[in-house]
Structure 1
Amino acid sequence: MDTPSAADGRRPTGAGGGTRRPRAAAPALYGTALALAVALTALLLPVRPALRLSDEGDTIGHLPLAEGERFTIAYVHSIDGLPIEEDIGVRDGHLVVEATRLRQFGAGMGHIPGEGTGHAEGEWWVIEGIDRDIGTELVLRVGSPAVDHRIRTPGDEVRLSPCLAARPVTVEPVRVPVLHLLLGGDPEPEC
């Protein structure tokens, strides 16, 4: 019987008669595991800015908000029944009122001297350049369904009044893992 030897260039066979496999698969397996670990780390690190909405400490959900984007609090004025929209930006973890849009000056509404400039824009009166820092969180007392409080980001809108009327909803900028945003879904208040 002819047995292979190192001298004739043939590899010895294993007990099952087959040839041994080279160990090159181990580095490929390590590379794949490393790539998977890097991808999971990127998805789990708190790297994406978002708004956390919470009801008395219980998180309702998160709205993605990219750096430099603003969100809008929209509602209907409870006395004159006309819509109002307030644009708020996030700067260094603080909420900053940047602009207000309204149809007419109602009770408690209007331009405050020294805070921005106003101009007509179609049916709206727009006050821009307000730059009023309101802190690291905003507690919004949600109005009745007729008030129709909503929070809008460039990619989403959450209606608060149908389920949370007369409740305090806290809006605060946070950083959350990308995976959390992908799997968390849109924040929808429970009725």
Structure 2
Amino acid sequence: MLEVRDRSDSLLVSLSVPQGEGWCLKWNHSVEGFPVLDCYRNEHGRMVLERSHQPDFAAGLGHVPGRGRQVSDGHGGYWIKDIHEPVPGDRYLLRVGAPRVNHRLVREGKTVSLSDLAAGQRVSIGLRPVPAS
């Protein structure tokens, strides 16, 4: 399960993400306003950053040589693919942006706005194992 929890560990969002499947965190760049994506995958219970989409080389964005490969998206932006970077502890902390930034989770065509739920708050986003039944 992909879970988003607030500072008091209350569950805000829970999404099923079976082995081998993925999701993206999408937000609007705080200066330029265009959408940016970081996409993750469940690799045997581990949260792994797979790719990132960036439509411009704006402040704070860019490819780091040796960390994936940069390819054109065909529309003036680029993907950084094949990152394959495990997230330490299978979770990370995020300060959720205001509605204009609109941090949101995207999974199988569904979108959940974290900014609608917790703008300005610190949340943890993590992959948690589902207990065997």
TM-score normalised by structure 1 residue count:
0.63
Report matched runs for 1:1-191 at 5 Å: 50-56=1-7, 57-123=9-75, 124-135=77-88, 136-154=90-108, 156-176=110-130
How many Å separate the matches in 2 of 1:94 and 1:168? 22
Over 6 Å off, 4+ runs: none
**Structure whose alpha-carbon radius of gyration is higher:** 1
- What one-letter code is carried by the residue in structure 1 that aligns with 2:92? L
Structure 1 window deviating more from structure 2 (138-147 vs 89-98): it is: 89-98
- CA-atom RMSD in angstroms: 2.0
Tell me how far 1:110 sits from its aligned partner. 0.5
Name 1:19's counterpart in structure 2: none
CA deviations on 1:16-47 (whole Å, 9 max, x unpaired) are xxxxxxxxxxxxxxxxxxxxxxxxxxxxxxxx
- Contact kept, 8 Å, 1:63 with 1:156, in 2: the verdict is no
TM-score normalised by structure 2 residue count:
0.88
Unaligned segments of structure 2, at least 5 residues: none
Tell me how far 1:85 sits from its aligned partner. 0.5
Tell me how far 1:177 sits from its aligned partner. 6.5
Change (3 A) 1:125 1:168: same
- What one-letter code is carried by the residue in structure 2 that aligns with 1:100? S
% same residue: 30
CA deviations on 1:47-85 (whole Å, 9 max, x unpaired) are xxx111111111113101121011100001101211101
How many Å separate the matches in 1 of 2:11 and 2:109? 20
Tell me how far 1:155 sits from its aligned partner. 5.2
How many Å separate the matches in 1 of 2:18 and 2:86? 19
How many Å separate the matches in 2 of 1:94 and 1:64? 14
Unaligned segments of structure 1, at least 5 residues: 1-49, 179-191
> How many positions carry a matched residue from both structures?
130
> Which fold has the larger relative contact order, with Cα–Cα distance below 8 Å and residues 6 or more apart in sequence?
2
How many Å separate the matches in 1 of 2:29 and 2:96? 12
